[in-house]
Structures are given as C-alpha cells and as structure tokens.
Amino acid sequence: MFKAVSESSLIYMTRIQKERFGDLSEYERVKGSYIINKAFLDRFKKKITILHPLPRVDEISTDVDDYPGAAYFRQIRNGVFVRMALLAMILGKM
C-alpha cells in the first residue's frame, strides 16, 4: 500500500463493508486493515488528496480532518449541489 500511495496524488478511501461478507469471521479478520491517520500521511513528503464517500467508521482517523489534502467534506458538500441540480433538471426548473 505504501508504494502505491507514494506514487499517487489521490487516495479514494472507503470502508471494508461488513454486509459484503458471507462469513463474519472473515470480516473480523480483515477489518481495520487499511486505516489512514496522521502518522501514515507523515511518511509521504507531498500533499495527497484524500476522498471518501462518508460516513466513515474507522478507516480515516479524525486527526486527518485538518490535513490540507483532506477533501472529503468538500466532496460531500459538492455532492449536495450536484443532486440539487439533477433534481432541478428532472423537475424542469432549469
């Protein structure tokens, strides 16, 4: 994972979804395998943009929220505007 991140300018992070596992023990084995926190980001010299669809569980630590590349709150806000525009188009208001 470190090599991929070191060569990237963007991370799109999602959670490991419990509902996707038929065997709960398999989920328990892999949950928490991929977590982004401040210590993880400090390993890289360049700023990396981080996206996430929210809500988060434990895959992005709250200490990342003030990281300059944390774009997930903007991502969610912009998603609201996109949905508003789509609804306006569908309803013939544009």
pLDDT at residue number 4:
85
- Helices assigned H by DSSP within 7-71: 24-30, 38-41
Mean of pLDDT over the chain: 92
- Mean pLDDT of the 75-92 span: 96
List 70's β-bridge partners, or say none. 50
pLDDT at residue number 65:
96
Q: Which amino acid is at 69?
A: G
- Mean pLDDT of the 40-65 span: 91
What is the CB-side half-sphere exposure of residue 63 using CA atoms within 13 A?
A: 8
